[in-house]
Amino acid sequence: MRITFHGAARNVTGSCHQVECQGKRILIDCGLYQGNREMAEENRNDFGFDPASIDFLLLTHGHLDHCGRIPLLSRLGFKGTVLTTAATRELARLVMLDSARIQEEEARYRNYKANRRRSREEQVEPLYNTLDALNCLDTFVDIASFDQPHDLCPGIRTTFYDAGHILGSACILLELEEGGKQRRVLFSGDLGYNGRAILPDPATPPHADTVIMESTYGDRLHKPLEPSIKELYQAINTTIARNGNVLIPSFALERTQELLYYLREGIEQERLPRHLQVYLDSPMAVSATQIFRRHRECFDEETWAVISAGRDPFELPGLEIIRDTAESMALKHVRGAVIIAGSGMCTGGRIRHHLRHNLWRREASVVFVGYAAGGTLARQIIEGAEVVKVMQEEVEVNAEIYTIGGFSAHADQQELLNWHAQTGQPERTFLVHGEVEAMEVLAAHLMETKVEMPDLHQSFEL
């Protein structure tokens, strides 16, 4: 029995871990690297294994950094089964198709530029295309439900537990038996935190011998949720009062739906203007919200109470859905509105257009409500850059900048420690999906387990 770390090793993207047992090879996640150009180039490097040798892929959730390289895996020979929840399958389909479109568009643009220069550079191929994304979906199989064991083969059993991170997200237990030895290996996936809107709290984890745990916020605590909601409302009210736009770079999955939930609640409670104009300018977020509405089985009691009262948790009076590019471009003439657009780290999507038209305006505000990896435009703005490059144009940062940590979809340090404490004093804990500084701080608090911080492609005997 062996585990090898092929992604999210000493960084926060590209999750991909391989377990070998009974002659079978199992992947947990197969994500895309995101961030600066050097990290993005890692996507074209060798996986560290032969895709055709993988028998099963267990997918924790539908974020790009966990599912984004599955189409490439399939294109290069993977013929196994992808096991996940029904909600994750739908969200992953949306994410992978969008990623394929972006890959194709970027390749076309770079080739066009090279041709204009009459460059002899080789033509760029997309990492994968739309057909690859569609083909890999044929390998997906839904689990019956959380907490129900599923035998992959003799000697290997898996159980999914609700991770409370995004719709359908899971922690995954592998029960392994080989040569008379037994091991219980638990993958946290990405963990949510208690008390959030829409989703239940993360489930109590089972006991395990070995834990592979995310460490995104291993070095800090989040702001409490209620003060974060209050700060969001204050930022909106203050900015609208001076006729400025509030830009919210937001992840299409979970964060956008959570924002819509709290904006609706704020209007109902008269903490926000009754006729607040809100533009949702993200085709992916619109589709993701429709998927949320189809998977009510994932909702918590509070959200069910809203539904039972005959209200839509994600609908508000002044919400306008922006679908095509022309409508999005026309928003440059809007004033005194909230504009929610992707991507959350400002690495792509329509938010860049809105930043170009608003970031230099003193009456405007930009509200960051999620994690921003190093090297991203979002991180540059958060860290106080006076001038940033947006779509090849230098733009002054004059808008008021808010960073509200309480909306994070990831557990903070204390919640990670609380979750780990319930896993039954595992012999070893591998920290992944975190920057080195965060891992080191978290590791110092894990006193009763041997902590490992694996390097990329490093293997360990189980």
CATH number, position 398: 3.40.50.10890
Q: What is the pLDDT of residue 114?
A: 81
163: left (phi over 0), alpha (psi -120 to 50) or beta: alpha
Q: Are both 205 and 263 inside the same structural domain?
A: no
Q: What is the pLDDT of residue 395?
A: 97
Q: How far apart are CA 290 and CA 312, in angstroms?
A: 12
Q: Are both 248 and 196 inside the same structural domain?
A: no
Q: What is the pLDDT of residue 21?
A: 97
Per-residue confidence in pLDDT tens, the chain, 462 aa: 999 999 999 999 999 999 999 999 999 999 999 866 666 778 999 999 999 999 999 999 999 999 999 999 999 999 999 999 999 999 999 999 999 998 998 889 888 888 877 766 778 899 999 999 999 999 999 998 999 999 999 999 999 999 999 999 999 999 999 999 999 999 999 999 888 889 999 999 999 999 999 999 999 998 888 999 999 999 999 999 999 999 999 888 889 999 999 999 999 999 999 999 999 999 999 999 999 999 999 999 999 999 999 999 999 999 999 989 999 999 999 999 999 998 888 988 899 999 999 999 999 999 999 878 778 899 999 999 999 999 989 999 999 999 997 888 899 999 999 999 999 999 999 999 999 999 999 999 999 999 999 999 999 999
pTM recorded for the entire structure: 0.91
Q: Is 428 helix (H, G, I), strand (E, B) or coil?
A: strand
> Which of these three, 392, 407, 422, is where a domain ends?
407
Q: How many domains does the chain have?
A: 2
Q: Are both 30 and 71 inside the same structural domain?
A: yes
Q: Are both 215 and 258 inside the same structural domain?
A: no
Contact call for residues 31 and 60 (beta carbons, < 8 A): no
Residue 459: CB atoms within 10 A of its CB come to 13
Tokens standing for residue 172 = 């995954």
Q: How far apart are CA 453 and CA 451, in angstroms?
A: 7
Rg for the chain (alpha carbons), in Å?
Answer: 22
Q: Environment class of residue 314 by beta-carbon count within 10 Å: exposed (0-12), middle (13-18) or buried (19+)?
A: buried
- Supply φ then ψ for residue 263, to 5 degrees: -65, -45
The boundaries of the domain holding residue 147 are 2-220+410-461
Q: What is the pLDDT of residue 299?
A: 95
Quickly tell me which residue has 């194709």 as its tokens: 104
Q: Are both 327 and 440 inside the same structural domain?
A: no
Closest CA relative to residue 432, chosen from 1, 16, 88, 2: 16
CATH number at residue 117: 3.60.15.10
Contact call for residues 395 and 388 (beta carbons, < 8 A): yes
Q: What is the pLDDT of residue 37?
A: 66
Q: Are both 206 and 254 inside the same structural domain?
A: no
Q: How far apart are CA 171 and CA 187, in angstroms?
A: 6
Q: What is the DSSP secondary structure assignment for residue 248, as one 8-state letter?
A: E
Number of H helices, E strands in the chain: 14, 22
Q: Are both 249 and 382 inside the same structural domain?
A: yes
Q: Are both 392 and 290 inside the same structural domain?
A: yes
Q: Are both 263 and 165 inside the same structural domain?
A: no
Q: How far apart are CA 72 and CA 63, in angstroms?
A: 16
Q: Are both 343 and 213 inside the same structural domain?
A: no
Residue type at position 310: G
Residue type at position 208: A
Contact call for residues 32 and 65 (beta carbons, < 8 A): yes
Q: What is the pLDDT of residue 36?
A: 65
Q: Are both 337 and 416 inside the same structural domain?
A: no
Q: Are both 242 and 388 inside the same structural domain?
A: yes
